[in-house]
Amino acid sequence: MGLLTETQIRAAKPGPKEHFLNDGDNLFLRVRDTGKAWVYRYERDGKLGMEPYPAVTLAQARGKAYEANSQRANGLDPKEVRERQGEQARIAQLLKCHL
């Protein structure tokens, strides 16, 4: 892993269409005219969007991609894991507000 550098990421300019820069291990930087964002791509059409760059640094995005790869190695779908975590957080917040 680790094909991109911070310099390459900062220098990436949008073109007429969105394009992707590959960092390896299913991690890509999506470059659009509206900004840059990390995307974890897996299997056929599986995509797991991440927060935008520079809010999430290259090192943080690599850590998230590593975690998603580990989840897949254990037979889990990273998108489903994130959705479950979001549901659990919402339930916990509701319980906190009503107790």
Q: What is the pLDDT of residues 35-44, one digit of tens each?
A: 999 999 987 6
Where helices occur in the chain by DSSP H, the ranges are: 6-11, 58-73, 78-98
- In tens, the pLDDT along 43-90 reads 766 888 888 999 999 999 999 999 999 999 999 999 999 999 888 888
User: Which of 9, 48, 13 minimizes the C-alpha distance to 27?
Assistant: 48
Task: Specify whether the CB–CB gap between 29 and 20 falls below 8 A.
Answer: yes
**What are 28's strand-pairing partners?**
22, 39
Go through the domains of the chain in sequence order and give each one's CATH number: 6-97 (3.30.160.390)
* Phi, psi dihedrals of residue 29, rounded to the nearest 5°: -105, 120
pLDDT of residue 93: 83
